[in-house]
């Protein structure tokens, strides 16, 4: 679940939606 921490850290910076998509895809892979 480290991606959650990375996502939280990135949210403090100007991040585009592509990173959000990446985080979601990674989360889906972890669930599987």
- Give the tens place of pLDDT for each residue, 9-24: 655 555 566 777 888 8
**What is the model's pLDDT at position 16?**
62
Question: What is the rounded distance in angstroms from the CA atom of residue 32 to the CA atom of residue 29?
Answer: 5
Residue of 19 and 6 predicted with greater confidence: 19
Confidence of residue 29 (pLDDT cuts 50, 70, 90): confident
CA-to-CA dists, residue 19 to 5, 8, 28, angstroms: 13, 11, 14
CA-to-CA dists, residue 24 to 3, 4, 12, 17, angstroms: 9, 10, 18, 11
> pTM of the prediction?
0.34
> Domains of the chain: which residue ranges?
2-31
Residue of 23 and 8 predicted with greater confidence: 23
Question: What is the rounded distance in angstroms from the CA atom of residue 32 to the CA atom of residue 26?
Answer: 10
Residue of 15 and 32 predicted with greater confidence: 32
């Amino acid at each position: 679940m480290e991606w959650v921490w990375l996502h939280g850290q990135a949210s403090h910076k100007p991040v585009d939606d592509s990173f959000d998509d990446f985080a979601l895809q990674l989360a889906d892979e972890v669930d599987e």
